[in-house]
Structure 1
Amino acid sequence: SSFSMPVFGQLGGQAVFYVGTGCGNVVCVNARTGKPVWRFQLSQGGVNSQVLLHGKDKLIALHGKENIDATSKGRLVCLKIPTEYPKEQLVLDPKVEIWRNDDHIGFTSSPILVKDRVYTTNFTGELIAVDAESGKTLWQDKQAPDQIHASPIYGDGKIYAPWFEGSFVITKPSDKKAEILSHADIKSSDGSGVKCLAAPTILNGKVYLSTRDGLYCFGSNKSLTQQTPAKIAKPDAGPISQLQIVPAEFAIAPGQKQEFQVWGLDETGSRVSIITDGLNWQKFIPPTAKVKAEVDATLDTKTGTVSAANNAMISAGALKVTYKGMSATTRGRVHAGSGYSENFEAVPLKMESPAGEKVNFPPLAWLGARIKWYILEKDESKVIANRLDNVLFQRTMNFFGDPEMSDYILSADVMTDGNRRIKSTVGLVNQRYLITLVGNQNILEVSSNHERVKSSVKFPIKANTWYSLKTHVKSNADGSGEVRAKAWPRGEEEPTEWTIEVPVKRVHPKGSAGVFAFSPQAQKRVFLDNIKLNAAK
């Protein structure tokens, strides 16, 4: 995933946006159709900062992860980007790099561009000025201990920079130095610094600053005259040359159905009209699909309505519509509902992992699970285990249930590999609450956002030992609730009482079922088996 916000522009008459991705790329995407235009591999990890467009053919990007060609972290880079819309998706060559500056580490803080100067708030607490033409650092000014999420903003000849530990600094920049005009320490009611996590906003002569503890406003009490942005004229649509299915992805539970609209688009991706007659729908397996599967639902080949029976199996697949020689696809899934169970015994182990194990992919309808989990054999049974071949996936959370579900029991058998010194964390997600056996701490923990809900009880966890884990979220009429779970060695009698019960003032009213794994530094695997999802009695 990525925190990067898109920047919109025009490319060869097409509306596009530029953004960083969680896989370390900077990409250009058609804003109307979603089709990829080009990409450039910038880093080994996620690019979380917003990119900058500089002129018609330059893009400046910042990241804080490991570099592609070095073990160092962080870099500010200027790229020469296409000025014409390509016929096919491009992968930009490293030679498009105009300059690089390794003084920068940007976690999620984004740079700003003022004429031909780039300003960044560095991970180590410096405000840095860079020449946008050469990439040369003009100056660095230490303003805080560190920086994580907040970004600076420019207005009235000044840079307004909030810092993570709770300071707000106003700087007048020049080519030679940073002149500090104001340095304010923002305190919470207990005297500690508030956490500044967002960029300020300038509006009507005032500066607004959002923090974890509240919203602050600085400036004059006088109201200034606001300018109304000029409206952009929308060009007339041309003839239909491509199709678009809405929604582009779908998810239904057993007993539900999904209807679609088919839009005709012109060559720029602008919508012309909805098409209802002359459509032909069919289930579709892309030729490049690694898993050949169809969604377990009935398809009306004329209207495109897809309906899942009450006994529909958890499944995923694509649909294709054709019209006058044009076609478009949508993909979707039937997710798990009450009564779902999985022990993986019916899955053939017809693949081989990089380590030489006989494996197969997890169910296709498990969101994002194919690259993070394997089905394999363990203790004379087929189970699901997290993959350790990519350290980026040492922590993974994957969902398979209906996001509208509530008041359900989710259970599974779980185990962590390891020894007395190092183990991993394994657990379940129930109604947006994470319930885990934390091996290295020997606890059973319930959490949501750790600053809001985090509670645990002691629970001895032995490596390579199976435990049964059962979870439930109870909701009350006044909006409060209770998250509860029980764990015990598999094969022993289930305890009558819950092992942990956590009261919540405002409980999450609904949420999908899922699985969770955390293997620090991708060292020790976790395993799950006999997953069951049922309505609470």
Structure 2
Amino acid sequence: MKRLLPLLLILVGCAPLVAAPLPDKAPAASANWSSWRGPEQNGVSRERDLPDTWSPKADALNNNLIWRAPYGGSTTPIIQGGRIYFPGKVGEGETQQERAVCLDETDGKLLHEFTSHVFLTDIVSDRLGWTNMTGDPETGNVFVQFTSGLFYCLDKDLKPLWSHSLTEEYGRISGYGGRVTSPVVDGNLVILGMMNSSWGELAMGGARWVAFDKRNGDVVWWSQTPYRARDTYYSVPVVKVINGERVLVSGSGDGGVHAMRVRTGEMLWSFQMCFWSVNCSPVVDGNLVYIGHGEQNADGTSGEVFCLDASQIEKGKPKVVWVVKGIKAKFTSPILHEGMLYITNDGGGLYCLDAKTGEEVWTYEYGTDSKGSPLWADGKIYVGEFDGRFHILQPTPTGCNELHSQYFKGKNGVPVQINGSPVAVNGHVYFMTSAEFYCLGKKDHKAAADPIPPEPQEPPVVKIKPIAPGYLQIVPADVTLTPGDSQAFKAYAFTRHGQALGEVKVDWALGPMLPPVWPVDMPPPPPPAPGAKGPPDLKGKVEPANGVETKLTIAEPPPLQFGVLDAKLGDLKGHARIRVAPKLPFVADFTKVPLGRTPAGWVNTQGKYSMVVFKGREVLMKRNDNPNPLVARVNAYIGAPNLSNYTIESDLYGTKLRTDLPDMGVGANRYTLMMLGNTQELRVGDWDAQSRADKNIPFEWKPEVWYRMKLTVTVKDGKAEVRGKVWPRDEKEPEKWSIELTDPLPEKEGSPFLFGNATGAVDAKNPGATVYYDNVRVTPNK
């Protein structure tokens, strides 16, 4: 649910830890570096007269240190409007959070910070803040995805303008490795990739992209790959004009690289490189796409670098111009400069390849471990090493020389790491370690940057004669409403090459939820049972039924729905996805849900839960025949993410299989109350991977017994009172709470949910322990 947000801002003035004397006149912040790889999206800066050497010591002669500041991180900063932006973590223990940081470009002073909670993720503290922010020079706004899945549009002072809870709204999958994707801005859109499992055609877990209107957060389109997704990833999309069309190109979690029309999300081509995920971001030059990976190949080698011709597509795949095997480019992205492709491997090796042929020109070992990508600037390559060393290299036509290497020694046994990439703009080089932020430059710097070469442009849309539209788009394309709500929608037409034609009149109608889109590399789903009915049409009122714009008013009842708003223009069809979430109080009526299906309005449930008859009652069952953690261990989100101060109750029943008991529970306000089967514990907390605000107590419970769980969260006086009860359903409710927790950094809102973990699952023939749910009820606190 899109959130238009009130002010939440911390304004802090803080001097850098060490500040070198500034030149008489600081360089004007006339240029932006609004995306992590720069304005050309290829790791190249056109700056000149940058340092060959430097020292972090303020009193060192000719240290080329402009300033250093005590703000570390694991990401690549962006620079926009004279300000530096990046995410990171802040606080310790029960006060630990993530934050977006804004520094002054000229002196490194802290101007603003915006904090965000970490919740409902398996990512640990050490891997917070790995994503990159991105900026929009047109509005001055910046965008950030936090580890919890909260995606924000912030103004230049880090005041929130709108947000989405990607996990609760769209079933975003965080994984555990810290690989959180970064957004990209193009035109009026901000686009973000993710792994998710939502509902309807997006119910299957998959690698997808979502485009939001950058000004108000409306969903404009979804796009998904044709292949099965296997792992989280952090490849950042690149937007370029290829073969006359404006295209977004990105790696993904299915081992492939994909291209789609940026304004509509229409998939143009896909190319699978490996079995697991692709973290490398592509580089595009004309019609050529360069990208690599670090996974195992069929011949036993690891890693490949590809050059693909995106103007020659056959059977949905681009032509392979060349491929080089054995370069394990798992984390870093390449540089393309003057006909040479520079790429680092995981082991600190730098490769120079002829971009036309892929022929190796030279290699150079500068280190032992690489996570951040290299930067080309002023004829040099600046690159960090994971183990805390920063290098300045001098590439030549025949080899590479080390100009400078700086090692950062940790304090009190805490090592210094460099995970991000350097940037160069306005005469300075900027980078951060896990402990500090550095700005390098010559005190007498005066050289202007070289101009950025012109890039290919789309041909103009000629409107002298009518153009037949090739695509119909409905905005907003995905909404969450409650019974009785109204929402306006508009229809837009595009050419068959993805160029905007403007608003169009269409015929509007309500339709049913669409079936899941099945990956082409998986066995097809079983056919529906004979006589099985399809999902019902969305219930509501659409006025007018024809026009550029219409208004949808959701019926009440029913309390829960899935469906679509259809639009038709001649033979063209488009639709918007409509989720109807419940108002409180809410009581789930499982007798109205067809067997084998899941409740309408619930996110992240299709294919993971199923209605069954158990002991003569229609109940919800947690699927137990798939060991994949994305299927076996799941939250089923019931409502909108802006609900607060409520109580959830449910009856739960767990079976024992072999030596395994399941984990099962309920959630409210982003806190989970769970019965842990194999450890016989009762736990409450908001962040499973980290001990922040959580509590575990011994709690013996038996299989094949119905228990009632009750979780209530009250936010008051800046704290959250979290209280849970569990008791055998056939017994009287105890007066005393089973477990209580006071959180000084409260989760103030969140969707209610059910939790289930089918432990011990092997496959369909060897299923795991089972969880059943009944009598689900969510009520506002009195």
Which SS does the other structure have where 1:304 is aligned?
strand
> What aligned pairs does 1:377-526 form with structure 2 within 5 A after superposition?
377-378=613-614, 381=617, 382-386=619-623, 388-389=625-626, 391=628, 393=630, 394-414=632-652, 422-443=660-681, 444-448=683-687, 450=689, 453-460=692-699, 464-465=703-704, 466-478=706-718, 480-518=719-757, 522-523=761-762, 524-526=768-770
> What aligned pairs does 1:134-145 form with structure 2 within 5 A after superposition?
134=358, 139=363, 141=365, 143-144=367-368
Take 2:541 and 2:603, find their aligned partners in 1: how far apart are those partners? 22
Distance 1:415 1:79, change over 3 A: farther
| Alignment-derived partner of residue 342 in structure 2 | 118
Following superposition, the deviation at residue 260 of structure 1 comes to 0.7
Distance 1:451 1:368, change over 3 A: closer
Note the alpha carbon deviations across 1:487-506, whole angstroms, 9 max, x for none.
Answer: 34444443434434333333
Distance 1:32 1:63, change over 3 A: farther
Take 1:32 and 1:505, find their aligned partners in 2: how far apart are those partners? 44
- Choose which of 414, 438, 441 in structure 2 pairs with 1:192: 414
Equivalent pairs counted in the alignment come to 511
Q: CA RMSD in A?
A: 3.8
- Choose which of 290, 293, 299 in structure 1 pairs with 2:542: 299
Take 1:183 and 1:517, find their aligned partners in 2: how far apart are those partners? 49
Following superposition, the deviation at residue 28 of structure 1 comes to 0.7
Following superposition, the deviation at residue 317 of structure 1 comes to 1.2
Take 1:100 and 1:342, find their aligned partners in 2: how far apart are those partners? 56
Is 1:33 the counterpart of 2:264? The answer is yes
More moved, 507-516 vs 311-320 = 507-516
Note the alpha carbon deviations across 1:212-237, whole angstroms, 9 max, x for none.
Answer: 66644344456654678689878356
* One-letter amino acid of the structure 2 residue matched with residue 192 of structure 1: V
| Alignment-derived partner of residue 329 in structure 1 | 575
Take 1:473 and 1:180, find their aligned partners in 2: how far apart are those partners? 58
Take 2:364 and 2:657, find their aligned partners in 1: how far apart are those partners? 47
Following superposition, the deviation at residue 331 of structure 1 comes to 1.6
Note the alpha carbon deviations across 1:397-445, whole angstroms, 9 max, x for none.
Answer: 4433112211122233345555686555444443334443344444314
Residues 52 and 60, structure 1, Cα contact 8 Å, conserved in 2: yes
Take 2:311 and 2:760, find their aligned partners in 1: how far apart are those partners? 42
Distance 1:309 1:203, change over 3 A: same
| Alignment-derived partner of residue 131 in structure 2 | none
Residues 661 and 703, structure 2, Cα contact 8 Å, conserved in 1: no
- Choose which of 483, 494, 498 in structure 2 pairs with 1:254: 483
> What aligned pairs does 1:133-282 form with structure 2 within 5 A after superposition?
133-134=357-358, 139=363, 141=365, 143-144=367-368, 150-164=372-386, 166-173=388-395, 179=402, 181-185=404-408, 187=410, 190=412, 192-194=414-416, 196-210=418-432, 215-220=437-442, 225=448, 235-236=460-461, 238=463, 239=466, 241=469, 242-275=471-504, 278-282=505-509
More moved, 514-523 vs 202-211 = 514-523
Distance 1:434 1:14, change over 3 A: farther
> What aligned pairs does 1:60-99 form with structure 2 within 5 A after superposition?
60-64=291-295, 69=298, 75-83=303-311, 90-92=315-317, 96=320, 98-99=322-323
Distance 1:228 1:28, change over 3 A: same
Distance 1:197 1:323, change over 3 A: same
Take 1:492 and 1:378, find their aligned partners in 2: how far apart are those partners? 21
Which SS does the other structure have where 1:5 is aligned?
coil
Distance 1:36 1:419, change over 3 A: same
* One-letter amino acid of the structure 2 residue matched with residue 6 of structure 1: P
More moved, 261-270 vs 131-140 = 131-140
Take 1:399 and 1:424, find their aligned partners in 2: how far apart are those partners? 19
Note the alpha carbon deviations across 1:75-132, whole angstroms, 9 max, x for none.
Answer: 324153430689xxx5328x848325244162x543444442331341xx43342535
Distance 1:458 1:308, change over 3 A: same
Residues 342 and 529, structure 1, Cα contact 8 Å, conserved in 2: no
TM-score by length of 1: 0.80
Distance 1:101 1:462, change over 3 A: farther
Residues 511 and 538, structure 2, Cα contact 8 Å, conserved in 1: no
Take 2:633 and 2:755, find their aligned partners in 1: how far apart are those partners? 8
Note the alpha carbon deviations across 1:239-283, whole angstroms, 9 max, x for none.
Answer: 4514321111121122311111222333433333333xx532012
Distance 1:53 1:519, change over 3 A: farther
* One-letter amino acid of the structure 2 residue matched with residue 344 of structure 1: F
Distance 1:212 1:298, change over 3 A: farther
Take 2:498 and 2:626, find their aligned partners in 1: how far apart are those partners? 39
Take 2:752 and 2:621, find their aligned partners in 1: how far apart are those partners? 16
Which SS does the other structure have where 1:82 is aligned?
strand
Residues 624 and 758, structure 2, Cα contact 8 Å, conserved in 1: no
| Alignment-derived partner of residue 284 in structure 1 | 511
Following superposition, the deviation at residue 18 of structure 1 comes to 0.7
Identity %: 23
Distance 1:460 1:121, change over 3 A: farther
Which SS does the other structure have where 1:312 is aligned?
coil
More moved, 428-437 vs 307-316 = 428-437
**Unpaired stretches in structure 2, ≥5 consecutive residues:** 1-194, 196-232, 517-527, 529-533, 763-767
Q: Structure with the greater relative contact order (CA < 8 A, sep ≥ 6): 1 or 2?
A: 2
| Alignment-derived partner of residue 353 in structure 1 | none
Which SS does the other structure have where 2:270 is aligned?
strand
Following superposition, the deviation at residue 151 of structure 1 comes to 3.4
Take 1:74 and 1:460, find their aligned partners in 2: how far apart are those partners? 47
Take 2:613 and 2:271, find their aligned partners in 1: how far apart are those partners? 39
More moved, 128-137 vs 259-268 = 128-137
Take 2:717 and 2:479, find their aligned partners in 1: how far apart are those partners? 31
Following superposition, the deviation at residue 332 of structure 1 comes to 1.7
Take 2:585 and 2:668, find their aligned partners in 1: how far apart are those partners? 15
* One-letter amino acid of the structure 2 residue matched with residue 110 of structure 1: S
Distance 1:334 1:285, change over 3 A: closer
